[in-house]
Structure 1
Amino acid sequence: MTVLVAVVTYNSERLLADLIDGLRVGLDGVKWHLAVADNASRDASVATVRRLAPEATVVEMGRNAGYAAGINAAVAASPAHDAILVLNPDVRLAPGCISTLLDALRVPGTGIAVPNIVDGDGELIYTMRREPSVLRTLGDAFLGARRAGRFGPLGEVVADERLYSEERFADWAEGSTMLVSAECWERCGPWDESFFLYSEETDFALRARDAGLGTRYVPAARAIHLEGDSRVSPGLWSLLTLNKVRLHRKRKGRARAGALWAALVLRESSRALLGKRPSRAATRDLLTPSRLRERPGPASVVRWS
């Protein structure tokens, strides 16, 4: 089987040498091809990829088009493949990670396989997710994500460490490392570029589940996710919050999206009162109708930074 490794770069130069070295380890024994979509980096990301991986496909987007658009462009520009590894530049694959995920894709009903992921200090990252809902948003608001996540109806984040010891299906999973079968991609179509950043992997995984192809968590496959700043950047946290409403509106309609919006306003405003800058930004944007109507773009990320 041939795996297409789809990576989106944006000022990622400092990460690329270790990324490419890590690919050779994590994909050992697997035929693979690297495709990089660059969202108009101002550093030497493109030159670095071409120097370190001259056989790679490089797509220069010409603008910061967003994560989903980059993934779609990388896939569209690439040679034939049997699976697509959607990978963040700051992820490092452990030996044998992808061959293990490929085995998992053969399990009936599986369209997406995801590994056990730890942070740079070796701590488990809770990557499995349940489908977003009003009740789970309220559970997060009143109990906190980790406490609520121990109870299925109350938490979106699967926060029971015991559930990470065995293979299982999840509604969706954090999108830094996802192996998608070619069948799943063909059945579900490309990622929805209207989200720009955040909720695009949620949307794709839920569409795959709707089509009978679930997301399978595989603890025997391992990876390290070094970074991620949505929880500290006001602009990113606000965009993440707004896109939850947009996704709910797409899947559930305006009325139910309105209920989710109200739950998010409660959650973010209560945290804003505690002095949390990301929640202040999210509250202000949730209460600005034009922000919910506009198509997200680069300005969404920097507005409150």
Structure 2
Amino acid sequence: MKDLSIAIVNWNTSDLLHQCLLSAKESCKGTDYEIIVVDNASSDGSPEMVEEEHPDVLLVRNPINQGFAAACNLAYKYSSGRYFLLLNTDTIVIKSALPDMVGFMDTRPNAGAAGCRLINRDGSLQRSCSCFPGLMTELFDALYLSKIFPKSRLFGAYAMSYWDFADEREVDFAGGSCLIVRREAIEAVGLLDDGFFMYAEEADWCYRMRAGGWKVCYYPGASVIHLGGESAKKYGSQILLHLYTSRNRFLRKHRGSYVAGVHRAIVALGALCRMGAYYVGRAAGRGEPDFIKFQKSLFAWAAGREV
């Protein structure tokens, strides 16, 4: 059994994928590891790039784009490592970050999963852990209170924006950009829920791990550059709808249909407030920017209409 299986899901990010693979290999020198790339029906030559430039990487071609969670689950079926690590294509691994994460997990036998320190290209901090979504956190987000008062432990609870991410601690969940998971924990709680096409799948996974008695940790001793949503940009702004629909699915699954219904009302309120603020701040008659189009789509979804 290898120490580490690295799963990378790709959709039309060939250049980023190449960069990610180079950094992961450099980080893992001296480590018994494997890399599994699941390509979600890319049309930009990504699979051919992997075959030509990285013949040591296991490439799995998906005939259709089934989403992030389903692709990760497919990668797991080909994996053999003691630890299974999710790594986004828009990441650059710094130095020995990945084997350091393995070492951290080895010293924390009760940890089912752990996230690392994520930074932007310029070295500034990127928040990589959150509390589980709830009605209050969603209301604070909808009313922009989380952005107006980021240092508040109340309003900044979801993104944990009051914290400098400098110390190790137990968290609700860590983001899937770089998330290491113990194989025993996966066998105990099951694979990712592939009903989540994009977003919230790692929150659901960590929720199930914590419910099963496993800890989820944040480890600041390993750093990874996360370019931030480069894959998602390929879908356009409408992909952000998945953020809201996935959170709603999370709430329905773990809090019930009533809470999920209230969440839709909160999202509708937030969309109306943002549209109102835009029109108050700008003169009418300048066309309809993507921002407003998205808010209308978001409101339509929250109101129960197809978008």
- Tell me the TM-score normalised to structure 1 length: 0.88
The answer as to 2:286 corresponding to 1:285 is: no
The answer as to 2:262 corresponding to 1:259 is: yes
Question: What letter is aligned with 2:159?
Answer: V
Matches within 5 A, 1:72-91: 72-78=73-79, 80-91=80-91
| TM superposition shift of 1:184 | 1.4
On the 8 A contact 1:149/1:156 being kept in 2, the answer is: no
| TM superposition shift of 1:233 | 4.0
Matches within 5 A, 1:41-80: 41-78=42-79, 80=80
CA distance in 1 between partners of 2:31 and 2:146 (Å): 37
SS in structure 1 of the partner of residue 24 of structure 2: helix
| TM superposition shift of 1:143 | 4.2
The answer as to 2:208 corresponding to 1:207 is: yes
| TM superposition shift of 1:289 | 4.2
Matches within 5 A, 1:9-28: 9-28=10-29
Question: What letter is aligned with 1:192?
Answer: D
The answer as to 2:249 corresponding to 1:246 is: yes
The answer as to 2:161 corresponding to 1:159 is: yes
| TM superposition shift of 1:262 | 1.7
CA distance in 1 between partners of 2:247 and 2:151 (Å): 21
Partner of 2:184: 183
SS in structure 1 of the partner of residue 143 of structure 2: helix
| TM superposition shift of 1:116 | 0.6
Partner of 1:297: none
SS in structure 2 of the partner of residue 178 of structure 1: strand
Question: What letter is aligned with 2:33?
Answer: W
Higher Rg of the two aligned structures: 2
| TM superposition shift of 1:286 | 1.6
Question: What letter is aligned with 2:260?
Answer: A
1:202-241 Cα shifts (integer Å, max 9, x gaps): 1111111111212211111000011316699431111111
Number of residue pairs the alignment of both structures matches: 289
1:185-212 Cα shifts (integer Å, max 9, x gaps): 1111111111111111111111111112
SS in structure 1 of the partner of residue 86 of structure 2: strand
- Tell me the TM-score normalised to structure 2 length: 0.88
| TM superposition shift of 1:149 | 4.9
| TM superposition shift of 1:108 | 4.0
SS in structure 1 of the partner of residue 195 of structure 2: helix
Question: What letter is aligned with 1:250?
Answer: K
Residue identity over aligned pairs, in percent, reads 26
Partner of 1:107: 108
CA distance in 2 between partners of 1:256 and 1:148 (Å): 25
| TM superposition shift of 1:42 | 0.5
Partner of 2:287: none
| TM superposition shift of 1:147 | 4.6
The answer as to 2:96 corresponding to 1:93 is: no
| TM superposition shift of 1:281 | 2.5
